[in-house]
Amino acid sequence: MSRSKSTLATDLRALVTTSTIIDRPIDLETYGYDASFMTQLSPRAPDVAVIARCREDVSAVLRYANERGIPVTPRGAASGQAGGSVALHGGIVLSVHAMDRVIEIDTANMQVFVEPGVVHSRLNETLARDRLIFPPDPGSSRMATLGGMASTNAHGMRAVKYGPTASWVLGLEVVLANGDVIETGSIGSRAKQSSSGLDLTKLLVGSEGTLGVFTRLRLKAMPIPPARALVMGVFDVLENAGQAVQSVFAAGITASAIEIVDARSIKAINLYRPNLKLPDAEALLFFEVDGAPAGVRWEAEKIADTIRSRATRVDWSDEPKQMAALWEGRSVVGAAIGLLRPGSNRAYCGEDICVPVARIPETLREIQEISRRFDIPIATYGHIGNGNLHPGHLIDARDPDESRRVLLVADAIHDLALRMGGTTTGEHGVGAVRRPYMEREHGPALEAMRAIKRALDPNGILNPGKIFLTRRPQVT
């Protein structure tokens, strides 16, 4: 270990009260990865990791790092797929996963106060005791922390009806780069709406650890909908599936989830869960509706009637066991894809585009063409109701040429998203892997983002190398 790294660890140990400092190289290795292919290819361990246990320690670490120009990378569960929580420029990884208390559930005002390390599924298990729910619902529910979700503005299956995480964050306690602590959304407020001042909460949600570290979140909750129903449509023509989604919107129904799995994904699910016996088809659509029992049944029947002329088969159910079986197919798809090609693994890159709903069939066809061009199998699924698609590329990571080709696949897919009038990331964030597209995607607006970054973090210590290029600080 170099002298400066050991000094860093010694200094930090003297600074913090309850937090843990990790500096043994072997222990730091795990912090070199998140769920991105980029870090699988080139992991980068930090010089030191801090397992923060209180706001005061977060503040002390940032104040110290800011005075010395040391990079600090905030980290939750590291389930991100964009390299966001990995310290690409070294320095300190500041993990807040151990700050994991549900501080208070205010049932009368339907809001909940949490520390940033609370895992999404645990929050909803806790809220369910009061018949409440926090609706954003990422596929990584059992891993992702609320701090990470707010920081990436996570979306998930139910965003089509309930919106992204941003719609459910009322306020944040944030430690700024210089160690100062601010509260957004009005100090001590329990109001559910506000027009007071610049909306710093919205600015900070989605900032991916580049503007501050969240140490407490005030979240909105809502009553659990009393009933749900699920409609499954089977399509032998991709274009018909796209039109079916549009026809449901045109029929005036707001489904709580609209998901697609393509032909390869169906095959993968059947390999993973043979008992599900999903029909072979070009695509399956799943529509979920929620609300009062009578309305839910009416909406499910209406969706079934609306899509029937375009589908080869339509089933619907409001019976919990049957719904759970159908949903299971969708929820296992990310893991199941690996079975399509034994010995392969999934490369998370170019995995999160979002295109206009009307251009989904065209986009899916082009993804198939990209798969053929680069000879890399791709299975695609996603939150089709909002146009968010997750192409899953299968590679043999031991073959350097496949690793090279899959990066070309990711580039072609990002390019496709922008050509379609969409975005390179619908919900996972920019991190390091999508930074090269930011100029093209945002034009002069990127400079406005950089100006905000400079104002809040003039020394550029917070998560350098993510979202936008900023001055690279040096460890002193």
Ligand X SMILES: Cc1cc2nc3c(=O)[nH]c(=O)nc-3n(C[C@H](O)[C@H](O)[C@H](O)COP(=O)(O)OP(=O)(O)OC[C@H]3O[C@@H](n4cnc5c(N)ncnc54)[C@H](O)[C@@H]3O)c2cc1C
Binding site for ligand X (CB under 6 A): 34-35, 73-81, 84-85, 96, 116, 138-140, 143-145, 147-149, 151-152, 154-156, 208-209, 213-214, 334, 427-429, 431, 463, 466
With respect to ligand X, which residue has the nearer C-beta, 80 or 185? 80
Judged by beta carbon, residue 81 or residue 111, the one nearer ligand X is: 81
The nearest distance, CB 163 to ligand X, in angstroms, is 12
Nearest-approach distance from CB 437 to ligand X, in angstroms: 17
What's the closest the beta carbon of residue 439 comes to ligand X, in angstroms? 20
Closest residue to bound ligand X by CB: 148
Nearest to ligand X of 155, 264 (CB atom):
155
Least distance between ligand X and beta carbon 154 (Å): 3
Compare residues 138 and 460 and give the one whose CB is closer to ligand X: 138
Q: Which CB sits closer to ligand X, 114 or 296? A: 114
Q: How far is the CB of 135 from ligand X (least distance, A)?
A: 13
Write down the least CB distance from residue 148 to ligand X, Å: 2
Closer CB to ligand X, residue 297 or residue 442? Answer: 442
Query: Smaller CB distance to ligand X: residue 127 or 175?
Result: 175
Taking the complex as a whole, the smallest distance from the CB of residue 334 to ligand X amounts, in Å, to 5
Distance from CA of residue 406 to its chain's centroid?
21
